[in-house]
Each structure stands twice: as C-alpha cells, then as structure tokens.
Amino acid sequence: MDGQASPGAPRLLVLHGLEGSSRSHYAAGLMRHAAARGWRALTLNFRSCSGELNRRPQFYHSGHTDDLDHVVGLLLERDADAPIGVVGVSLGGNVLLKWLGERELDAPKQVVGAVAISAPFHLVPCARVLDRGFRKYVYTASFLTYMRDKVRRKAERDPNFAILVDLELGLRARTFGEYDRAVTARLHGFADEHDYWVRASSGPYLRRIHRPTLLISALDDPLVPPDALPDPSTLPPWVRTEFTPRGGHAGFIDGRWPWRVDSWAERHAVEFLGAVLAERRGVG
C-alpha cells in the first residue's frame, strides 16, 4: 500500500507476531485503516516469515531489534521528512518497545508514536503458561509445528546449521523451553532459554521510551497472563496503557457477526497515531 499515497504522506510500519507475516489479518487491517487516512503503509516481514527462508543462519526472535532499526533507516533514506508511526502486534510489539527503549532519546525524530497490541512484556511468565496444560496442546503445538519445519528445512539446505543448534532437540521440541534452548539461545548468543526470555523482554525498557506510546492488552489474553503486564504507575506519562477486561490475544473484536466485524484495537491504534500526528502538526 506504500505506493498508493502521495510522497511525503505519513507512514505506518507494522510489525507482526510470532510466525505471522504481512498476510496476517491484523497487518492487513492496520494497513487498510492507514490507507483510508491517505497514509503509506507497510509491514516488516521478520526473517523466515515472508514465505521463504532467509539465507543467514539466524531466525528472528522476540528481542531482535537490528532489522527494525535497519528498516527504519531505509525509510528515512527514501523520505527523510515523512513522519512514521509504528504498530507492533504480539511479538512485534515486544520488538518495537524494546527498540524504542534501546534508542531512548536517540530514536529518530521522524518516529512520532508507537502502539503495541498484546505484547508479551515479560517473556518468562508467558513461556511458563504456554508450556503447560491446555495452552501447550493448542497454541504452543501450533506455533512449534511451523518453527520445527523451518529448522528442518534450514538443516537440509545448510549442513553447517546443524552445528550451530541442538538439531535433535530442536526437531522434537514440544515446548518453547525446549525450542528456545535448542535453537534460539544457541543461534543468538544467549546462555539458555531463561537468559533469552529475560534479556529479550521489553518490560525493563518501557521507562526508557521517549515517544508517545499506547499499550493495548486484554486481561483475558491466553498467551500473556496478567502478571506479565507492566504496572501503569511505573511508566512515563507519555506511555499510556489500555488494559481491557476482554479482547483475547490480538482479537478485540468489534461489531456484529456476520454483518460487520472489525478490530477495535487496530482502529484505535491508527486513531492514536493520527492524534499524535495532529498534535505534532499543531505544535509545528
């Protein structure tokens, strides 16, 4: 949708969730809302999520911010004056928040605001609930089916890949603990899965963010338990929270089925960024 708006128009950059892509329903929904405002919109496909494997050994992960930093830099090279709003969903929200906290006051001034929908702010409690009970056999099993397949295909294409990971454990992993110990930690320089979960979490970075930011989460999210959510009283005033009683994980369905169904969170995210843009223009 980037080419349908006029040059200089604001940009919306979307970051998808675990094993999502630019084809995910929420990415398409966010880009539609942006296009309706005359913005340019695009989604960053994380490594291996575009429909083909990336060439380098490393995959993406919940705390990998280098690619986001690179893409923002490319956007600035193409149009240095256009404002950018960023929305991250689930894992993408964690990446976005961690990146903003890492950059602190050095975040590009063109990045005017951010929204994180259903972000897993603290990965340890999230991994624990996903690796047991009903969630393990429904959500975790589904995610790991795709993730194990990527490990298998990488090993078939590049024999050296098997040296970098614990291939046997990676191919039979049935929990995020096993997978992240065998693959994520070894590929990305973490001591083990717990070290990865702690160091990749965005929660500790929230107080270092210096952009208007909205955090949207639901208290009934099956993937992100309430004890993984940040305490709003500890956040800067420009980091707002909207923790709703219901909404599930990146759901927040609004409307009446089957006539008209929309996502309140997607619409609200773009409205928030629109308000930030309007305020910035008023000040300027």
Q: Which residues are catalytic?
A: 90, 221, 249
User: Would residue 117 be called left, alpha or beta, if left means φ above 0 and alpha means ψ between -120 and 50 degrees?
Assistant: beta
Residues 229 and 248: their CA atoms lie apart, in Å, by: 14
Q: How far out from the chain centre does Cα 168 lie?
A: 29
**Closest Cα partner for 177 from 144, 223, 224?**
144
**Closest Cα partner for 177 from 142, 128, 121, 138?**
128
Q: How far out from the chain centre does Cα 149 lie?
A: 22
- Give the length of the chain: 284
Tokens of 174: 């049935």
Q: Around Cβ 74, how many Cβ atoms within 10 Å?
A: 8
Does the bond joining 10 to the residue before it have cis omega, within 30 degrees of 0? no
Residues 59 and 188: their CA atoms lie apart, in Å, by: 9
CA atoms within 13 A on the CB side of 1: 26
Residues 244 and 221: their CA atoms lie apart, in Å, by: 10
Residues 121 and 229: beta-carbon distance below 8 Å: yes
Residues 269 and 87: beta-carbon distance below 8 Å: yes
Tokens of 222: 């099956």
